[in-house]
Amino acid sequence: MKAVLIPGDGIGREIAQSVRTISDVLDTGIQWQEFEAGAEYAAANGELIAPGTLDAIEDCGWALKGPTATPIGKGFRSINVQLRQRFHTYANLRPVRTLPGVATRFDQVDLVIVRENTEDLYKGIEYMLDEDTANGVKLITRAACERISRFAFDYARANGRKKVTCVHKANIMKLTDGLFLSTFREVAKDYPDIAADDCIIDALCMKLVQRPEQFDTLVAPNLYGDIISDLCAGLVGGLGFAPSANIGDKTRIYEAVHGSAPDIAGQNKANPSAILMAFAMMLNDLGMADKAARLNGAILELLTEGKTLTADVGGTATTTEFTAALADKLR
């Protein structure tokens, strides 16, 4: 089967190579179609995404992407936002779990964040009212609220989860977040087997850094979902271990949560775990749950042994060495 691979910017090329190596070792049978996109491509070619990329994603429905930067102030729209809107990948799924061998302040985190991915302040409706006043529109529709709430409850049910918490600020944004919350409550009635509650975003942030184990599945509008995803990644050891999936009805795009890490790009220092964990999510959805479990298991084993760790988690291994050690485990 075919899948699109977009290495992207900065460390993207290094971690995409890890995916190719591990995909071969696992004998997934995936034929990668590689396409260029990002700020580095734009600097040489004047456009952010190489011709044919979007059609290829449309054709096969599966893509794995590395981080991409957007040149600021040059009229380019973020690749991520473009992809989400074009392919209607309305749900951004980000599992966050405590990992053995990665020292953090918490030891029982097991959370899933379901972020609405298409609207809210990210819709891109911004304009100047006059030269000193900018206005941005927070657009929330009942249809998108219902779709993401159902996605969260269906995911919870399918994955043995017990509770879904709606994240909002409906006490202040009574119409927009109010619609998100009231729609969530309506949808919850169809899932009597899953507990449902809600939490105001600011209180949630405090509770997450005090006792994250009290949460299970969180469903949030776009902006809050974006922020709490990074917060939660921090609870389990940072961006090196945070995978995500952008899910639509016809298209799925998997990626690491982190960016292009320009400070370490080209130095063979990047931790490829997050993109490999995103690849494991992809394998799972492709019906290769056994290979996904082997991959996740091998990453956990490497972390637990602690002999081959990248610099972000206190080791000295290069990206290539980490990937080779992982490949050895999988063989």
Whole-number Å distance between alpha carbons of 60 and 278: 18
Name the residue type at position 110.
D
Region binding ligand NAI by CB under 6 A among candidate stretches 54-62, 113-121, 136-144, 270-278: 270-278
Residue 217 DSSP SS3: strand
Residues, the chain, total?
Answer: 331
Catalytic residue among 190, 197, 202, 290: 202
Asked if 283 interacts with ligand NAI (CB under 6 A), we say no
285 is catalytic: no
- The residue ranges of DSSP E strands in 35-172, in sequence order, are 62-65, 91-97, 110-116, 126-130, 133-136, 163-168
Asked if 263 interacts with ligand NAI (CB under 6 A), we say yes
Asked if 18 interacts with ligand NAI (CB under 6 A), we say no
132 is catalytic: no
**Cβ–Cβ under 8 Å, residues 259 and 78:** no
Name the residue type at position 327.
A
Minimum distance of ligand NAI from residue 252's CB (angstroms): 15
The residue among 70 and 308 lying less far from ligand NAI, judged by its C-beta, is 70
Catalytic residue among 122, 155, 224, 254: 122
Candidates 95, 212, 221, 240; binder of ligand NAI (CB under 6 A) is: 240
**Cβ–Cβ under 8 Å, residues 90 and 144:** yes
Asked if 271 interacts with ligand NAI (CB under 6 A), we say yes
The residue among 82 and 98 lying less far from ligand NAI, judged by its C-beta, is 82
Cα angle for residues 163, 169, 171 (degrees, 5° grid): 110
Q: Which residue is nearest to ligand NAI (CB)?
A: 259
Number of residues that bind ligand NAI (CB under 6 A): 20
The residue among 212 and 238 lying less far from ligand NAI, judged by its C-beta, is 238
Whole-number Å distance between alpha carbons of 115 and 224: 8
Q: Which of 214, 91, 217 is nearest to 160 (CA)?
A: 217
Minimum distance of ligand NAI from residue 247's CB (angstroms): 15
**Contact string 290-329 vs ligand NAI (x = CB under 6 A):** ----------------------x-----------------
Among positions 33-92, residues that touch ligand NAI (CB under 6 A) are 67-70, 80
Residue 252 DSSP SS3: strand
163 is catalytic: no
Asked if 260 interacts with ligand NAI (CB under 6 A), we say yes
169 is catalytic: yes
- The residue ranges of DSSP E strands in the chain, in sequence order, are 2-6, 31-34, 62-65, 91-97, 110-116, 126-130, 133-136, 163-168, 195-200, 217-220, 243-247, 252-256
Catalytically active residues are 122, 169, 202, 226
Query: Which spans of this chain sit near ligand NAI (rule: CB under 6 A)?
Result: 11, 67-70, 80, 239-240, 255, 258-264, 270-271, 274, 312
